[in-house]
Amino acid sequence: MLDKFGSIIIIGGLYGLVLWGALAYWALKDAQSRTENPTFHFFALGVNLLFPLLGLLVYVLVRPSVTLAEYRSLEMEAEALSHTASEENMRPCPACGREIEHDFVLCPYCQTRFAKRCPDCHKAVRLGWRLCPYCAATLEVAVPRAAAGQSRR
C-alpha cells in the first residue's frame, strides 16, 4: 500500500515539475514574441520559476497586449492608409529613375518621351501602338526621319 502511494507521489511530483518547467518556458516564449527587451524576458522566466501559478497571473497582467508581429502588421496597415492619392499616382521614369506622375508622356527631368496622347480621347498611349485601347481610334505611327527620307527617293 505504501509503495503504491509513494509511486503516485513520485509520478505526481514529476508531473508537477514538468508542468512548472513548461509554464516557465511558455512565459519566456510569449515574452519573446511580445517584446525585444531582454530584461522583460528574464522577468517572465524568473517570476514563473519562483512563483509558478501566481507568477503566471502577474505575467499575464503586465505583458504587452500585442505581439511584435501584430504590432508590425498594424504599423504597415497605418502606413498603407496614410499614403495619399498623389503618392499612388507616382512612378519612376524608365530612363532617369526620378519620380514622375503616372500619366506623364515625357519626363520633365531628362525629356525622355515614352508615351503620346490619343488625338480623340486625349489619354496617354504608348509609342508604337497603332490603336488607342481606350477609344479604338487609329493612331499615327511615327516614321523615323531617316526612313522617311529613303522612301522619297
Say what the pLDDT of residue 144 is: 52
Which portions of the chain are predicted below pLDDT 70? 1-2, 83-88, 141-153
Q: Same domain for 62 and 119?
A: no
Decide if 82 is inside a domain: no
Query: Under a CB-based contact definition with an 8 Å cutoff, are residues 63 and 33 in contact?
Result: no
- In angstroms, rounded to a whole number, what is the distance separating the alpha carbons of residues 28 and 40? 9
Decide if 26 is inside a domain: yes
**Host domain of residue 142:** 114-153
Query: Under a CB-based contact definition with an 8 Å cutoff, are residues 43 and 63 in contact?
Result: no
Decide if 76 is inside a domain: no
Decide if 123 is inside a domain: yes
Say what the pLDDT of residue 63 is: 93
Helix axes 68-82, 2-34, angle to 10 degrees: 20
Decide if 99 is inside a domain: no
At 87-114, the pLDDT tens digits run: 567 888 888 888 888 778 888 889 888 7
Say what the pLDDT of residue 150 is: 53
**Which residues, other chains included, contact 120 with Cβ-Cβ below 8 Å and sequence gap of 6+?**
132, 135, 137
Say what the pLDDT of residue 87 is: 59
**What's the structural domain count of the chain?**
2
Residues recorded for the chain:
153
Place of cell 512612378: 91
Say what the pLDDT of residue 153 is: 45
Q: Same domain for 64 and 119?
A: no
Q: Is 131 helix (H, G, I), strand (E, B) or coil?
A: strand
Decide if 32 is inside a domain: yes
Decide if 81 is inside a domain: no
Whole-number mean pLDDT of the chain?
A: 84
Query: Under a CB-based contact definition with an 8 Å cutoff, are residues 106 and 112 in contact?
Result: yes
Q: Is 17 helix (H, G, I), strand (E, B) or coil?
A: helix
Q: Same domain for 63 and 119?
A: no
Decide if 96 is inside a domain: no
- Which residues pair with residue 132 across a beta bridge? none
> 38, 70, 102 — which closes off a domain?
70
